[in-house]
Amino acid sequence: MDNVEVLGEDDTKKDRRGDDVDRRSGGGLASVALTWDEKRNRRNKASGRVSCFLGDEISDRGQYLRRVGIPSRAVVADFSCDCSASASAPAPATEAPGLSPSPSKKRVVSGVQPTGSVHLGNYLGAIKNWVLLQVIALPLVVDTYDTFFFIVDLHAITLPYDASELSKATRSTAALYLACGIDPSKASVFLQSHVRAHVELMWLLSSVTPLGWLNRMIQFKEKSRMAGDENVGVALLTYPVLMASDILLYQTDLVPVGEDQKQHLELTRELAERVNYLYGGRKWKKLGGRGGMLFKVPEAFIPPTGARVMSLTDGLSKMSKSSPSDQSRINLLDTKDVIANKIKRCKTDSFTGMEFDNPERPECNNLLSIYQLVTGKTKEEVENECQNMNWGTFKAILTDAVVDHLHPIQVRYSEITTDPTYLDHILSEGAKKAADIAEITLSNVYQAMGFLKR
């Protein structure tokens, strides 16, 4: 990965400095963290590194897309890029274990919780973009992406839940993955709980995760406030550590994330660099290991459109499974009549005409964005078509567009769920491939942290 420091055999001076700090401070985590933070900041300043994470922006879209490796001149609806550096170019040499089988492949990892029905926000904000990674990349650049998409069922129990509904929701979510276009011949589709290395690595990462980092997570604050102290378990606090494990196990290059997950990905990057510093390089080699990085440091992939679909009842709130009102979201399996009723009753405003990007009209902007995404039209085309419409006329064409877009997904879902053995086979094969790769990473981390080989 560009601008990621590898602690190898030539890093004696850097590694010895860390050892000296350990001796002076008694090996305390806080003192090591201070040294590591200073080291990272100096490295970033020296390299001129620009990140797409918390508080940082990349002003040039082409620069951003080149960084995340999208291939040249790929265009699918508004999901487009014009990059001078093709993703087919050989990746920089790296020493992290469990890498993608081809140096030209970039590994993409992401998942969705099986809580409640999968809705339009999940699809347009995440799943559709995963499908586009297959549609865009593979015809233009052979084997550009090595993709892992899984149902994060362990994350689903961080808050009180109905055990009888979890298995149903898990199967339904997996079937919808496939119905939406995820191709199991090009991607590994599996359940998080079927690869035990996720939990094992989470425990190892927990040992080097400062409590203060977790307390600052915005989602923890929001969800704990909503659930009440009596319903908040430790799992909700450590949720980001499990997410880090999900990503780092597979030596991931790119993580498709929405705006609300960027903070969690930044934590993942911090943990990867911390473990590489504390246990990688010469320290690992002294224990019989290969040396070098234990984890590749992942990058965010934030799509140009579709990253955040808002509620039908509040244009300032994200469309969410956790909302108590089903009216706030369009579920992928909603019937035509249900979709029509939800759009008919959705919150609007008293302004005349339709327009994007008016801060006084968040609901209008949200509904126009949904229309743009499900039709594949450009923003300019939507503006020209809809600017003089009233709400009644626009809601009618939006309803038709959403229904038409979801119809093939619903047909395919019905076909998949009529044969449970097909879904079981896909999940089993995906878990086997994932477990083989995860075990390489996990074994190396165990060794580097001083555990005996099992």
Please state which of the ranges 133-137, 148-152, 170-174 shows the lowest mean pLDDT: 133-137
Residue 226 identity: M
**C-beta atoms surrounding 286 within 10 Å:** 11
- Which residues on neighbouring strands pair with residue 301, listed in sequence order? 256
In CATH, the architecture of 12-307+426-448 is 3-Layer(aba) Sandwich (3.40)
Number of residues written out for the chain: 454
Give the mean pLDDT of 195-209.
Answer: 97
148: enclosing H helix or E strand: strand 145-151
Which of 418, 292, 303 minimizes the C-alpha distance to 369? 303
d(CA 330, CA 343): 9
> How far is the CA of 298 from the CAs of 64, 228, 261, 379, 433, in angstroms?
14, 33, 14, 31, 20
> What mean pLDDT is reported for the chain?
78
Q: Tell me, what's the pLDDT at 217?
A: 80
User: Which residue, chain included where needed, has tokens 């070098």?
Assistant: 292
* Between residues 419 and 27, the one the model is more confident about: 419
Dihedral angle, C-alpha 119, 120, 122, 128, nearest 10 °: 130
Eight-class DSSP state of 184: T
d(CA 162, CA 335): 25
34-38, 90-94, 334-338, range with greatest mean pLDDT: 334-338
pLDDT above 70 covers what percent of the chain?
A: 69
What interhelical angle do 218-227 and 234-248 show, nearest 10?
140
With 90 as the cut, is the pLDDT of residue 105 above it?
no
> How far is the CA of 91 from the CAs of 48, 66, 102, 105, 405, in angstroms?
20, 12, 9, 8, 37
pLDDT digits 0-9 by tens, 343-396: 999 999 999 899 999 999 999 999 999 999 999 999 999 999 999 999 999 999
pLDDT digits 0-9 by tens, 213-265: 888 886 666 666 666 666 677 888 889 999 999 999 999 999 987 666 788 89
Cβ-Cβ contacts under 8 Å for 46 (sequence gap 6 or more)? none
pLDDT above 90 covers what percent of the chain?
A: 53
Active site residues: 223, 318, 321
pLDDT digits 0-9 by tens, 397-444: 999 999 999 999 999 999 999 999 999 999 999 999 999 999 999 999
Please state which of the ranges 47-61, 262-276, 337-351 shows the lowest mean pLDDT: 47-61
With 80 as the cut, is the pLDDT of residue 136 above it?
no
Q: Tell me, what's the pLDDT at 208?
A: 95
Q: Tell me, what's the pLDDT at 259?
A: 67
Q: Tell me, what's the pLDDT at 345?
A: 95
With 50 as the cut, is the pLDDT of residue 88 above it?
no
Contact 254, 215 (CB under 8 A): no
* Pairing outcome for strands 299-301 and 79-80: unpaired
Give the mean pLDDT of 83-110.
Answer: 53
Eight-class DSSP state of 149: E
DSSP string, 87-126: TTSPPPP---SS--SSTT-EEEEEEE--SS--BHHHIIII
Q: Tell me, what's the pLDDT at 158?
A: 82
User: Which residue, chain included where needed, has tokens 């490295």?
Assistant: 43
22-36, 67-81, 99-113, 160-174, range with greatest mean pLDDT: 160-174
Asked if the 326-417 domain carries CATH number 1.10.240.10, the reply is: yes
* Pairing outcome for strands 187-191 and 79-80: unpaired
Residue 33 identity: A
d(CA 404, CA 396): 12
Q: What is the pTM of this model?
A: 0.71
Please give the backbone phi and psi of residue 409, each rounded to the nearest 5 degrees, phi first.
-65, -45
Q: Tell me, what's the pLDDT at 104?
A: 60
Q: Distance between alpha carbon 76 and the CA centroid of its chain, in Å? A: 20
d(CA 49, CA 46): 8
Q: Tell me, what's the pLDDT at 282?
A: 93
Residue 22 identity: D
Q: Tell me, what's the pLDDT at 222?
A: 66
- Which tokens go with 210? 């400062």
Domain limits of the chain?
Answer: 12-307+426-448, 326-417
